[in-house]
């Protein structure tokens, strides 16, 4: 993982769109089935919208039916952090970018093998870097 990134609120606002800022910096959530990547099949890597850290790979993406991009594992264990999230009267596990602290989404224990995990990630928190010549 690269060096940690810290910016002021004004710097994040200048860098991100209003939706990206709301989701990534204020822990918002985009509506299901509305994000850019929930159903994409393109081959590539998914990077943090705030710091460009490689977070997920298309090899680990699967169709969970939940309306958000879902992955069985991060690109490497050290790129994401997990925190207890008790908002909305339920217990969930928030997933953040370890490099810049961006809110990515949540992880659940209802994913497919081999991990059994479902990293449910907001499209507004990531950008897809397609692998040239390998997309359907």
> Would you call 44 helix, strand, or coil by DSSP?
strand
Q: Specify the DSSP element, H or E, that contains 107.
A: strand 103-108
Active site residues: 120
Comparing C-alpha atoms, which of 113, 112, 75, 114 is closest to residue 95?
75
- CB of 85 within 8 A of CB of 96? no
């Amino acid at each position: 993982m690269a060096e940690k990134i810290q910016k002021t609120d004004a710097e994040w606002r200048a860098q991100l769109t209003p939706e990206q800022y709301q989701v990534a910096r204020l822990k918002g959530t985009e509506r299901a089935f509305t994000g850019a990547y929930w159903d994409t099949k393109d081959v590539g890597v998914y990077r943090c919208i705030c710091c460009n850290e490689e977070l997920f790979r298309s090899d680990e993406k699967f169709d969970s039916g939940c309306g958000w991009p879902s992955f069985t594992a991060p690109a490497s264990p050290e790129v994401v952090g997990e925190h207890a999230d008790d908002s909305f009267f339920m217990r969930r596990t928030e997933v953040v970018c370890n490099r810049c602290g961006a809110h990515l989404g949540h992880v659940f224990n209802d994913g497919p093998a081999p991990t059994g995990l479902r990293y449910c990630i907001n499209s507004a928190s990531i950008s897809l870097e397609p692998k040239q010549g390998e997309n359907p």
